[in-house]
Amino acid sequence: MCLSGSSNPSRSSYSSGSSDSFGSSGTFGTICRAEAKSNYPWYGIDYSGGQATGRFWNGRTIGVNYASGGAGILNDTGLYFIQRLSFDDQIKNFKKTKEVITANIREVAANKHFNEATFFIGIGSNDYVNNFLQPFLPDGQQYTHEEFTELLISTLDQQLQNLIIPESLSTGSTKNSLPWLGPLGCIPSQRVKSKSGQCLKRVNEWILQYNSNVQKLITRLNHRLPNAKFIFADTYPSVLDLINNPSTYGQFDISST
């Protein structure tokens, strides 16, 4: 978890979005019709005995986790997974958690608890990989990339305000970490579209445009909500460097990953 403006560790953490499979720690164990599964052997590589448990992550996440594989900023993202918890659904679940905690420890203590918490929000990859970039889905046909980015940013803006405003209006402050998207043009489902198996330059350019707009959104939110401290983690160059220079990180063949 990333903190902003404090050297003290956060006492509690709430993870939402990657809010998709990048952060999902087992949500699909309770969604019986979900088609996005992680109960295959390779998902268990980090676990004791190498057995998959149904988690997309390796079980080392801490805090309350609402992430759901296949989820996106847009509610129609990941529709062909049948069931998944959209970012709006995850926000609703957080609010239910807040109600339960408030009922148990009362409002003053609950406000203190949430004001000291860190919110990790990772979302957006599926809106590209399992929506805009899929030729059989309507959003990629209906919108130009500029229009689609505008839709994502405006929707994310409203969602973040819906999630954060009740906490930031109290006397304390919330800390919110929002990582950028990585070079999605380099994932296998996109590289396979290239004759040479290389990263798709156009897709990576789109992601950089999206990341730039997220940075602008965060700047606006920090100005609009001074008690809500948003920070963004620029993971794009680190991931791209890993892809371009695998031997530096102890990897030598990434052509099939």
**Tell me: the pLDDT tens digits for 85-95?**
889 999 999 89
Q: Which residues pair with 16 in a beta bridge?
A: 121
Other CB atoms within 10 A of residue 136 CB = 7
Domains observed in the chain: 12-249 (3.40.50)
**Residue range 218-246: mean pLDDT, rounded:** 89
Helix (H) or strand (E) holding 131, with range, is none
What are the residues whose beta carbons fall under 8 Å from the beta carbon of 190, sequence distance 6 or more? Answer: 129, 133, 184, 199, 200, 203
What are the residues whose beta carbons fall under 8 Å from the beta carbon of 110, sequence distance 6 or more? Answer: 98, 101, 102
Tens digits of per-residue pLDDT, 124-175?
999 999 999 999 899 999 999 999 999 999 999 999 988 876 555 454 556 7
Total residues belonging to the chain: 257
**Residue range 180-208: mean pLDDT, rounded:** 93
Given a cut of 50, is residue 9 above it in pLDDT?
Answer: no
Tens digits of per-residue pLDDT, 88-116?
999 999 899 989 999 999 999 988 888 88
**Residue range 22-28: mean pLDDT, rounded:** 47
